[in-house]
Each structure stands twice: as structure tokens, then as C-alpha cells.
Amino acid sequence: MSYRNPSPTVDIIIELIDRSQRPIILIERKNPPFGWAIPGGFVDYGESVESAAVREAEEETGVKVELVEQFHVYSDPNRDPRQHTLSVVFIATGKGEPKAADDAKNLGIFEFWQLPENLCFDHDRIMKDYWHYRFYGLRPRLG
């Protein structure tokens, strides 16, 4: 019997704690779908989501991160135009000068009022939820 299951992914909201206002890092994707995205990627077989988050953050930004908390899981079947994925989103902290690497074409450091408009996947929703949590302490509602 074969199963069709969503692919597990991680996204990491990296707060740069060595800068005022703790801005976050976004990457500009060099592969489709094009646009800006939260650093992240697929979980490898045999890898925990926590390990995948640390690995993907460093691969795409060059920043060593410390995971602070698991924020939320996003699983809308249409969140990724390539295939059905679910994303475990983490909030992490990092320091230093990030650099675009791996499948990141470019990298930007953003305050909440500066986010680019062309966010990929469902990252506009994730960012709205994150800022709401960061400023008001309210987590996203289920459903």
C-alpha cells in the first residue's frame, strides 16, 4: 500500500538580537516560487524538525541560531504551489552578519514595517501572526 502524505518542512523566524529592534532575516529565493521567504526548507529523512531548523537557518543565512520556541504549524494544502507541505515554524535568535547562501539569491534584514510585498507561500500570513504574537503576546488561533 502506498500513502500520499504532505512533506514536512520548517521555517525559522530569526531575530537578530545584536541589533536594536531585533529585526528578522528574509531570503529572496533563487528557485521557483520566486519572491521573499522566511528561511527554511524540507526536513530530511531521519532528522528531527529542530535539527532541520538549525541546519536550514545556517545553510541559507550563514547564521548560527538558537531555537527559542516552536511557534505554530501551518498546513493548508495550498500553502506551497509545488506540493502539499506542512511547516513547523520556529522562532530563533541569531547574531552577526548574515549572508545569502544555498538556495537564497539575496538576503534582507527587515523591521516589521519594512516587509516586502512579494512573500512566497503563506509567509505573509505567518509574518502577520508572528508580529501579532511578538507585540501583543497572542498566538495564532487554530482552524
Return the pLDDT at 49.
98
32-49 pLDDT, tens digit each: 999 999 999 999 999 999
pLDDT top residue among 103 and 109: 109
Backbone dihedral angles phi then psi of residue 83, each to the nearest 5 degrees: -170, 170
Q: Which pLDDT score, from 0 to 100, does residue 2 have?
A: 86
pLDDT tens per residue across span 47-77? 999 999 999 999 999 999 999 999 999 999 9
Contact between 110 and 124 under an 8 Å Cβ cutoff? The reply is no
Supply the mean pLDDT for the chain. 96
Model pTM above 0.75: yes
Residue 132 to residues 20, 78, 129, Cα–Cα distance (Å): 19, 23, 5
